[in-house]
Amino acid sequence: MTMSKSRNRRTAAVLAIVCLTTALGLPATAQAAGPDGRSTGRCTSGAPGIGDPYYPNYGNGGYQVRKYDLDVTYDPATDVLDGVAGIKASATKSLCSFNLDLVGMTVRSIEVNGVRARWSRTEHELTVIPKSPIERGKFEVKVRYDGVPHEFVLQLPGFELRTGFMATPDGATVAGQPEVAAGWFPVNDHPLDKAQYSFDVTVPKGYEVAANGFLTGRETRRGWTTYEWDAREPMASYLATIDIGFWDVHKWRTNTGLPVYDAVDSAITGGLRSVIDSSLARQGEVLDVLGGAFGPYPFSTVGAIVDNQDDLFFALETQTRPVYSKLFWLDADGNPVNGDSVVVHELAHQWFGDKIALARWQDIWLNEGFATYAEWLWAEHEGQATPQEMFRATYDAIPADDPFWDVVIGDPTVEFLFDDPVYVRGAMTLQALRNEVGDDDFWRIVRRWAAQRDGHGTTSEFIALAERISGQQLDKFFDVWLFTGEKPASPDAAASASRAAAASTDDKASDDKASDFARQWLANTSERLKRGRR
Ligand SMILES: [Zn+2]
């Protein structure tokens, strides 16, 4: 995820929506398993949470989802979504009841293995009670539901973001982190439970739908068009997106043959459109640079969704097809600017965040640190500054008494989950590691991490991998960078003198140019940094 530096210009509008949404009520606490929470000895209740310490009621226990077949009809005139969610799952034990996450919407009926089931609800939990217990192994659920999808508000230090299933004047944008999915379909809502998705989205004729994966069908009947999208590569729930509007679609292939599907709101024109198109045209080049560093791109398609939504203040790494705020391509005065780095950031997340997903939200620095580090790699590719120069300039620019250093990025708390240090200190941690273990071992660590089979990773697993590959004891190093709320001692002192010397440039002119660029990069994130100083 990346927050737009321009978001302040629309604070008033955002706040108005925040008040509305808050009035509807957000889940306060985890709820008990459900009315029937009994254990008969033969079967037990599934858990209402998957065990995330930061979000106890996110996800659920007792089963894993293999596939969501989401068949939804959305009418932009009323914002009402009419849905049938087919869920193919596997029970890890015999279940008398189990939970799904669903916020808002009205449930009309539920079937488990084709038999009508009872259910009960709290603000966040939908507890399903099948007529007879579910045996360990495969089972299927069908939930019919409707209503106006629930938006979420992401509370950040000092400000709030509109997220979730967001109605727009010409359709809808679906993006949010950590919450979005439970606002529009019943789901095991935690990145620990990845699944396949298929989306059949029906909209009034003329509207178009962009989503994850591949567009596999489109059919118009009686004034409504159904778009079929297929996303077979396992995906965390918050990365699922369906975006409804009027799109200029550009289908093309990168020079390596990867299919690209870009959807840019046709209302975005002129100079802004030019800079957006120019960034999107470089996606193949971005993937070449990132692939050279991280290993092969992990998915079978790529692309972008850019809506003309004035109060979308972030970009999100929705799998295979990030959703971008147009504001990344506008400066504070509303003039079009180069926005390549946000594309680099979100595409880097395809490796770090999407392919290697979080097992618990507190490890978010693993996503954001790598995605920010990718921006530094891109700066090097562009001849602007090396990662070491970015690191050095950032380190020098933020004094030791700045609250920026207070955030313990390895355990940032829910409040500071998306605060700047998670991004910036996260990237610094990676460059500091590179200085500590040397280039060869660093890139070996990164590539091995990106290639993990099971698709999840924790901070302690990352540390263990770094130690295994480097042969060094790195507890103290990671303790300083990830788990201490202080500015680390001079990084050059910590690094081997020869490596630091090799990493820095002797050339005075390029030194000045790099410093200027690094200062500019910091200036562009200054608003975020200021928030860290509130
Ligand atoms: Zn990000």
Burial class (CB in 10 A: 0-12, 13-18, 19+), 205: exposed
Contact between 17 and 311 (Cβ < 8 Å): yes
What pLDDT was estimated at residue 509? 66
Average pLDDT on 510-525 reads 80
What pLDDT was estimated at residue 527? 58
Quick: pLDDT tens for 197-237.
999 999 999 999 999 999 999 999 999 999 999 999 999 99
| DSSP-assigned states of every residue in 462-531 | HHHHHHHHH-S--HHHHHHHHS-SSPPS-HHHHS-HHHHHHHS---HHHHHHHHHHHHHHHHHTHHHHHH
Mean residue pLDDT across the chain: 89
Range scoring the smallest mean pLDDT among 262-266, 372-376, 415-419, 439-443: 415-419
The domain limits of the chain are: 2-342, 357-532
Q: Which two tokens stand for residue 424?
A: 């910036």
Query: Quick check: 425 pLDDT over 80?
Result: yes
Read off the pLDDT band of 504 (50, 70, 90): low
Contact between 61 and 47 (Cβ < 8 Å): yes
Query: Cα of 108 to ligand 1 centre, how many Å?
Result: 37
Read off the pLDDT band of 68 (50, 70, 90): very high
Quick: pLDDT tens for 163-186.
999 999 999 999 999 999 999 999
Query: Cα of 44 to ligand 1 centre, how many Å?
Result: 38
Query: Cα of 118 to ligand 1 centre, how many Å?
Result: 40
Query: Quick check: 16 pLDDT over 60?
Result: no
What pLDDT was estimated at residue 3? 79
What pLDDT was estimated at residue 492? 63
Query: Quick check: 157 pLDDT over 90?
Result: no
Query: Cα of 371 to ligand 1 centre, how many Å?
Result: 6
Q: Which residue has the tokens 């999915």?
A: 181
Query: Quick check: 507 pLDDT over 60?
Result: no
Average pLDDT on 74-83 reads 98
How far apart (Å, rounded) are the C-alpha atoms in residues 380 and 505? 13
Range scoring the smallest mean pLDDT among 1-15, 134-148, 283-297: 1-15
Query: Cα of 186 to ligand 1 centre, how many Å?
Result: 25
Range scoring the smallest mean pLDDT among 190-204, 284-298, 453-467, 505-519: 505-519
What's the Cα-to-Cα distance from 252 to each of 128, 218, 258, 463, 487, rounded to whole Å? 44, 19, 8, 39, 46
* 3-class state of residue 266 by DSSP: coil
According to DSSP, the residues that pair with 81 across neighbouring strands are 74, 147
What pLDDT was estimated at residue 526? 56
* 3-class state of residue 152 by DSSP: strand
Q: Which residue has the tokens 């978010």?
A: 364
Quick: pLDDT tens for 427-436.
999 999 999 9
Query: Quick check: 22 pLDDT over 90?
Result: no
**Is the model more confident about 33 or about 284?**
284
Query: Cα of 514 to ligand 1 centre, how many Å?
Result: 24
Query: Quick check: 32 pLDDT over 80?
Result: no
Read off the pLDDT band of 6 (50, 70, 90): low
Burial class (CB in 10 A: 0-12, 13-18, 19+), 401: exposed
What pLDDT was estimated at residue 508? 62
Quick: pLDDT tens for 139-151.
999 999 999 999 9
Quick: pLDDT tens for 380-389.
999 999 999 9
Query: Quick check: 7 pLDDT over 50?
Result: no
Contact between 314 and 152 (Cβ < 8 Å): no
Query: Cα of 328 to ligand 1 centre, how many Å?
Result: 13
Contact between 20 and 62 (Cβ < 8 Å): no
In CATH, what number does 2-342 get?
2.60.40.1730
What's the Cα-to-Cα distance from 234 to each of 64, 179, 198, rounded to whole Å? 12, 18, 11
What pLDDT was estimated at residue 280? 98
* 3-class state of residue 390 by DSSP: helix
Q: Which two tokens stand for residue 166?
A: 């967001």
| DSSP-assigned states of every residue in 304-342 | EEEE--TT--EEB--TTS-EEEGGGGB-TTS-B---HHH
- Kindly give, in sequence order, each residue whose CB lies less than 8 Å from that of residue 202, ignoring residues fewer than 6 positions away: 71, 72, 73, 74, 224, 225, 226, 227
Query: Cα of 71 to ligand 1 centre, how many Å?
Result: 29
What pLDDT was estimated at residue 40? 53
Surrounding ion ligand 1 within 5 Å at CB are 1-2, 368, 371
Q: Where are the alpha helices (DSSP H) in 295-438?
A: 340-351, 365-381, 387-397, 420-437
Query: Quick check: 5 pLDDT over 90?
Result: no
Query: Cα of 315 to ligand 1 centre, how many Å?
Result: 8
What pLDDT was estimated at residue 452? 87
* Percent of the chain whose predicted confidence (pLDDT) is above 70: 87
CATH superfamily to which 357-532 belongs: Neutral Protease Domain 2 (1.10.390.10)
Query: Cα of 497 to ligand 1 centre, how many Å?
Result: 32
